[in-house]
Chains A and B, each alone.
Chain A
Amino acid sequence: MSTPETSPGKSFVRLGNRRTARLDALPQHGIDVLRAALRGAVNDGWRIVTLFGTPESDSALRIVAIVADDERGQLGAATARVGERYPAIAAECPQAALFECEMAEQCGVVPEGHPSLRSLRRHAPDHRPAAWSPTSPPLDDTLPRTPFRGDEVHEVAVGPVHAGIIEPGHFRFQAHGEEVLSLDISLGYQHRGVESLLETLDGPRAVYVAESIVGDTVIAHANAYCGALEALSRCHKSARAQNIRGIALELERLANHVGDLGAMSGDVAYQPAAAYFGRLRGECLNMLMTISGNRYGRGLVRPGGVAFDITPEMADELRRRTTRLEAELRPVADLFFGAASVQSRLEGVGVVKHDACIEHGFVGPVARAAEVHRDVRHDHPYGVYRYAQIPVATAWAGDVYARALIRWVEIRRSLEFVAEQLATLPRGEVRVPCGAFAAGELVVAIEEGWRGEVVHAVLTDDHGKVRRHKVTDPSFRNWPALAMAMPGNQISDFPLCNKSFNLSYAGHDL
């Protein structure tokens, strides 16, 4: 438990990654104070990690805001109590915009004066105070949002069912000739009610849901989910379990980054690299399968530690495979990054500016490619990352090339990390019991998944039951970045641009 030291100002209680705070110690402001506090914090260089609502009584909603100061490695929490309508935070603080849309849809609350209020997932409110009027808030759900008018402006509609093996989503381009004027992205097609499930299920059934929030980010979500639960139950997992979780997280990053480089190769029609990267993605998945029995690491991470140990023979074998993987990856990356025809397709395409990343709170490789030093493993270290630091990889151009380069740098660093950790696994049990949750507490667990910051925030009620489980996937933060990157580019560069972000639909839609 952290001491209720406040910063910045007296508006936020200081939290740590995976440290609990008592709910009654959280400042409960009026909405005007919370608005001013968030605006002030963001102006001081803090960013919003997550913002959500939970019914406080039959007639009131409690808004919970979690903010982070990445430079000092601090998290802060503050709350406000509101009725059915309140003045929107986004009117003064753009980072809050999407969170308030989400909150309006989930809780049936109306953020008045919100600049871009819209339905994100098209579902009935599932976290609405019981006595509130059952009519849904006036969310703008009319498609499409097309700002440009003129005889020569044409529209291209794509999805929800896509021309490949891709999750569903609807993209609406406005274009002049080949040049994209605007891109509007409508999601929500993958909505499965994940948060409600995590609040009602327990035991293994809830872990299966946590592992299925995003199918290619099984480890990061399971790590954050279990990290939150373990903090609430004061469970101290072993160093060995934490190292195995770290190894699995980096293998997951390797598989996806390698796969993304392959997909980008395919989209610029550079087939040799597409084929080689595509196969080597499988090698990374197979290493996860050796440890966990499943190519995506399902079954490995469990509350209290991990379900599978890495035996000494397995560690040796995995180290040999890591060495071989690196030897096989390097010449392929040299081919890819060395080909002038590849470079000319990647450079200057799909630029996301540094300032936009700061203003909107983008995370992961998208932000790091625009010189934003933001990496949970470095800024808010937890588990094995407290002892084994991985330097933050950044580039400056913010284009497709920079996002590809970030992945390649991170691939090499993850390979080094995995090899090192396999050689120095501490002794100990891999799993300890994880007991009942403390009552009336808040915990925030953040994890640097391969797409960026994965957030699980959990509130318990007076009986130690989960009252609210908030999930924020990095894709939720980063989809607007794709829409911002497209104007001025050619429509035909959209697939390439899209792959360089490779955002999750399921992670956004929950």
Chain B
Amino acid sequence: MLDFLRTRLAQGSQTLDFPSDHVAFPERFRGRPVIRSGAAGVAELDLGACLFSPEEAAYDHQYGLASRTRAGLVMRGGTMNPATALDDQMRRLLGRSLRLRSVSAGSCNGCEGEMVALGNVVFDLARFGVQFVASPRHADGIVITGSVNDNMRDALERTYAAVSDPRIVIAVGACAASGGPFRDSAVAGRGVPPSIPVDLWIAGCPPHPLTILDGLLRLLGRIADGERRPPEAGV
């Protein structure tokens, strides 16, 4: 018991005071791509197809990469419009809780790893009223990860159908938005099909837990401002 208390004291409180805490990423962290518009016109970059690799672009530390529409993930001239909140009626219906069912459909398990990390004491997703539940019947919506490959399309559609209306759909990661690294495959799919309307798209490969958290809180109207100041470099 003494050991337990000693360890508890040593570990301390590690929870990030998000969204008010100042978040510092390591220097090489790849957040939002930096695009410079040339004389030829306004440059475009689709965050939904971006794998955030060192070869594709230079990046800053802005980690907000969520949009309410698929088209909204396309950056024009170096800016993007952050995700807006659900309408008042939907937010009233949800109250202070959002219960989600996770459907992994043709992924590598990277996005799922970051969604699991959201539950740890640092990010502590549950304090915002967001929980992952064990049945679509208990859920207000689903989170889709993966490219929606041939072998999971049916199971995804059935899970979606099992959630009662009104329901929310959140697509997490490059695979769900575009097929990600598997977009050239004959069997992997190109992301969430049009038959499943998506309320929130979160870019990244995989998105940092704070990128997912930022998107969720914007959807719930907990972060209302437009562009947030970019976090400073550091560790």
Which residues of A come within 8 Å of B, CB atoms?
121-123, 126, 160-161, 163-168, 188-194, 196-197, 200-201, 204-205, 208-209, 211-216, 218, 272, 275-276, 278-279, 281-282, 285-286, 289-296, 298-299, 307-308, 317, 328, 331-332, 334-335, 338, 504-506, 509
Contact = CB atoms under 8 A, between A and B. Distances in A.
A291 B108 CA distance: 22
A164 B109 contact: no
A213 B105 CA distance: 14
A193 B188 contact: yes
B206 A296 contact: yes
Interface in B66-81: none
B29 A289 contact: yes
Contacts of A191: 106, 149-151, 187
B9 to A, nearest CB: 10
Contacts of A197: 182, 184-185
A191 B104 CA distance: 12
A190 B134 CA distance: 20
B103 A161 contact: yes
B110 A328 contact: no
A295 B208 contact: yes
Interface stretch (B37-45, B113-121, B194-202, B219-227): B113-121
A201 B122 CA distance: 39
B121 A192 contact: no
Contacts of A293: 26, 28-30, 54, 59
Contacts of A292: 28
Interface of B: 3-4, 6-8, 10-11, 14, 25-26, 28-30, 51-55, 59, 101-117, 119-122, 132, 134-136, 146-147, 149-152, 155-156, 159, 180-182, 184-188, 205-206, 208, 235
A168 B181 contact: no
A165 B188 contact: no
Given A161-B159, A209-B181, A298-B53, A215 B26 contact: no
A214 B206 CA distance: 12
B10 A331 contact: yes
Nearest to A266: B119
A326 to B, nearest CB: 13
B146 A307 contact: no
Nearest to B152: A189
Contacts of A328: 10-11
A290 B26 contact: yes
Contacts of A272: 4, 7-8
A160 B159 CA distance: 10
Given A278-B120, A506-B108, A163 B7 contact: no
Contacts of A215: 107-113, 206
13 contacts: A123-B150, A190-B146, A215-B107, A218-B110, A279-B120, A281-B117, A293-B30, A294-B52, A295-B208, A298-B53, A299-B30, A317-B235, A335-B3
